[in-house]
Homo-oligomer: A and B are copies of this chain.
Amino acid sequence: MDKKGRRYEVVFSGSGGQGIILGAVVLAEACGIHDGKYVCQTQSYGPESRGGFSRADVVISDRPIDYPMATEPDLLLAMNQTSCDRYHPELKADGLLVVDASLVSQIPAGRTVAIPFTEIAREQFGTEMVANMVSLGAVVQLTRLVSPSKLRAALTARAPQHTADLNRAALNAGIRAAKKIDVACLENLGAPEEEDV
């Protein structure tokens, strides 16, 4: 279910305190450093950043990347309602929306996976701070963009040492939660049609 030879765009979005950028950096390094792909990872800030919104793009390809930002995301992770409302219109026609069901109640129609990342983080680990790692685990399980072992290696190299065990456990909780999703109803996932160039 690899996305060989094509450009795959992921947008992580949420609020400033949710660790959106760390999630994006870990995915980028898992794919770029540990899996040898071409990856661009970008944050943009503008006047709206002062409102506490956070967005991070990851573009992954087997070939050198021309434009480094997501223009038509294959996957949007929305960790709050505002991000979901704001970025969902950009999603590709057959793109996948992954929302934090703890914080997003109004979910647009379409190919959507809703998992309560924040609730899982709080209930299983006693802190909402690892909701970003729970969601990252789920994103990787759903898309098979990179192997869980390479994802864990990237996380270990990037996150502070004293949080390594907690972060790894959160990642695994996200992987488990995503395994329960009925992927039969997400038929395009992992087997994208060839695009015209």
Q: Which residues of A contact B (CB under 8 A)?
A: 16, 21, 25, 28-29, 31-33, 36-47, 49-50, 64-65, 68-69, 157, 160, 162-163
Contacts and interface: CB of A to CB of B under 8 A. Distances in A.
A64 B47 CA distance: 10
Contact of A36 (B28, B50, B68): B50
Nearest to A30: B45
List 3 tightest A-B contacts by C-beta distance, closest first.
Answer: A32-B45, A39-B45, A42-B42
7 contacts: A38-B45, A39-B44, A40-B45, A41-B44, A42-B42, A160-B160, A160-B163
A21 B158 CA distance: 10
Contacts of A50: 33, 36
A77 to B, nearest CB: 18
A11 to B, nearest CB: 14
A9 B166 CA distance: 37
A73 B21 CA distance: 24
Contacts of A31: 45
A150 B50 CA distance: 13
Given A33-B50, A50-B36, A45 B69 contact: no
B68 A44 contact: yes
A57 to B, nearest CB: 9
A47 B43 contact: no
A32 B43 CA distance: 10
Contacts of A163: 160
Nearest to A64: B46
